[in-house]
Amino acid sequence: MLSLVIFGLFFALALAGIPLMAALLATTVGIVGIYGMQYPMESIFLSLIGGVEPFILIAVPLFVFTGELLAHGGVGKRIVEFANVLFGWLPGGLGVVTVISCLLFGGVSGSAIADTAAIGSLVIPAMLAKG
């Protein structure tokens, strides 16, 4: 029942044109004011921090950063040229070159987004030119 009250109050405030941040804040303050705090504030903050504390989460932005550094450093172009020398002679060579380049660049950067940006910006114009 409490969930319905929370969502109803939030959506009513949001549909009234109040910014979402203010609607969330007003809903939270209103519910805490009506029902009171059931848990100490320290335990709420510790549980919020505990969710983003794992050391593994640091790797995500670092992989994206590494991929961007490799893309701007010209590594993507070298990887595409290397794959083209090895596999460009095959039927559908440009497609094979794209897949192999993405495989190699993804192994280095670890980020699919940076991989797509680096290899796609090099290979898509060539694909469009060849039809």
What are the residue boundaries of the structural domains of the chain, listed by start? Answer: 2-53, 58-130
Q: Mean pLDDT across the chain, nearest whole number?
A: 80
Q: Supply the pLDDT for residue 52.
A: 66
**Strand, helix or coil for residue 122:** helix
pLDDT digits (tens, 9 = 90+) for 29-59: 888 888 777 777 777 677 767 766 666 677 7
Q: What percent of the chain has pLDDT over 90?
A: 5
45-81 b/e with 16+ CB inside 10 Å = b?
eeeeeeeeeeeeeeeeeebbebbbebbeeebbeebbe
Q: Report the C-alpha gap between 87 and 99 in whole angstroms.
A: 10
Cα–Cα distance measured from residue 111 to residue 102, given in angstroms and rounded to the nearest whole number? 10
| pLDDT tens digits along 59-70 | 777 777 776 777
Q: Of 63, 67, 61, nearest to 114 (Cα)?
A: 67
